[in-house]
Amino acid sequence: MKLRYIILLAVSALVLVLDQATKLYIDRSMALHSSITVIRDFFNITYLRNKGAAFGILANSSYRLPFFLLISAVAVCVIGVVISRLKEEQKLAALSLSLIFSGALGNMIDRVRLGEVIDFLYFHWYEHYWPAFNVADSAICVGVFLLGIDMYLEERRGK
């Protein structure tokens, strides 16, 4: 089996298990909107549900669920095709795309199962709050960051 597929399978398995296990734990052990302070004035575990996209975008739209499911399915398919076309030496690109793939899949599972996404990681600085997120969201963000680094390095190699 080619290395890029091994990376995709390993990263996806790890992220999906961690994402779904943490969401299931939060759902079963906390009441909706309850919060546990982990680091005072900085980090809480807060059980929230997000019907929208990042920052609650389109949360009240009547077509939000089909739209988000379609976008997630297209993203997963496109990333799968891109990964299949990577060269063997493009390990960082494979890792990056695998993180984005598994994050999109993790949130898509929530949307199919619940019609919304469970979020629980809630960072803030005193009264200034960042929107809550989850493991899948983190995988997507790290994947996009690493993909940016990979693109920069590829451009430098080309010069």
Marked catalytic residue, from 19, 110, 137, 150: 137
pTM for this prediction: 0.90
- Measured between alpha carbons, how far is 101 from 108 in angstroms, rounded to an integer? 10
Backbone dihedral angles phi then psi of residue 118, each to the nearest 5 degrees: -85, 125
What's the rounded mean pLDDT across residues 68-80?
90
Marked catalytic residue, from 19, 110, 119, 150: 119
Token duo for residue 142: 């790290």
Domain boundaries, the chain: 3-158
Q: Catalytic residue at 150?
A: no
Q: Catalytic residue at 41?
A: no
What's the rounded mean pLDDT across residues 121-130?
94
Q: Exposure pattern of 96-134 as b/e (b: 16+ CB <10 Å)?
A: bbbbbbbbbbbbbbbbeeeebbbbbbbeeeeeeeeebbb
Banded model confidence at residue 81, pLDDT cuts 50, 70, 90: very high
